Structures are given as C-alpha cells and as structure tokens.
C-alpha cells in the first residue's frame, strides 16, 4: 500500500497583520504623546544675598485674598496697586510672594498667570 505524503506548500507571507500592528502602534504613540506645550509659567527661586536696586514688594497669597505690603488687596485691584508701589520707572522691581499654609497650587498658578503681562515685575516665590 503506497503511503501518500502530504506535500507542504509554503504559504506566501501576507502583510495585512503587519500593517495592522504598525497602525496600532502609530495610533498608540500619537495618542499618548503631546505635541503642543501648555502655558509655561516662569518661576524664580529667591536667591541669597541682597542685590542693590529698588526695595522689593511683598505679597502674601491667601486662599481668597492678597495682602500687598501688609494691606489687603482684591484680585481685580492687584495690578493697579502694584503699579502704584513701583519705586522707579526704569528698573525692574522684585515681587516676593509668600504663601499661607492653606493655599492651593492652582491659586499660585492663577496669581502667576495674572502677573505675567507685567513686564517690569520679577516674581520670586518664597518657600
């Protein structure tokens, strides 16, 4: 009795599954990465030693109110009050910001965004 052996034919490689995998990887990396930068807030640490120049302005940031050089100031009046305290029109002025214990980070970011359009103000956050 003759034995019939099966002849194995080599299948051609299909690229459809490979293309699907590449598409899924591309889709994953596109969705998991960001291509735009979010709003950046410049932040300086308060340095040691005093530099010659105008006296700094002190701002205490509370959860709902500001105290500018010890006087309470509303959110809407902050820029006007800072402009009135600017000692010299030619030099940049340092604003030292201290935080009360219950201030959230979002409140600090809101303050920094509010102060961003003031070009003559150098903001330093005291820790």
The model's pLDDT over 99-117, given as tens digits with 9 standing for 90+, comes to: 888 888 888 888 888 888 8
Beta strands 44-45 and 57-61: pairing type? unpaired
Beta strands 93-99 and 57-61: pairing type? parallel
The model's pLDDT over 56-68, given as tens digits with 9 standing for 90+, comes to: 889 999 888 889 8
Please report the pLDDT score of residue 31 as a whole number: 86
Please report the pLDDT score of residue 79 as a whole number: 86
Coil, strand, or helix at residue 46?
coil
Judged by average pLDDT, the poorest of 22-26, 38-42, 67-71, 80-84 is 38-42
The model's pLDDT over 8-38, given as tens digits with 9 standing for 90+, comes to: 788 777 777 888 889 999 999 888 887 666 6
Please report the pLDDT score of residue 36 as a whole number: 66
Evaluate whether the domain defined by 54-125 bears CATH number 3.30.420.270: yes
Q: Length of the chain in residues, anyone?
A: 127
**E strand or H helix at 80:** helix 78-85
Q: What is the mean pLDDT of residues 42-63?
A: 72
- Domain-wise residue ranges, the chain: 54-125
* Percentage, residues of the chain above pLDDT 90: 9
Cα–Cα dist 102/55, whole Å: 28
């Amino acid at each position: 009795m003759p034995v019939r052996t099966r002849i194995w034919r080599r299948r051609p490689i299909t690229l459809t599954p490979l293309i699907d995998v590449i598409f899924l990887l591309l889709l994953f990396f596109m969705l998991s990465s960001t291509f735009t930068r979010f709003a950046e807030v410049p932040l300086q640490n308060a340095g040691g030693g005093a530099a010659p120049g105008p006296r700094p302005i002190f701002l205490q940031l509370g959860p709902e109110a500001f105290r500018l050089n010890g006087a309470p100031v509303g959110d809407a009046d902050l820029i006007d009050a800072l402009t009135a305290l600017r000692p010299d029109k030619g030099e940049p002025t340092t604003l030292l910001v201290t935080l009360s214990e219950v201030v959230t980070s979002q409140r600090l970011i809101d303050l920094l965004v509010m102060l961003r359009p003031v070009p003559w103000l150098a903001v330093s956050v005291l820790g």
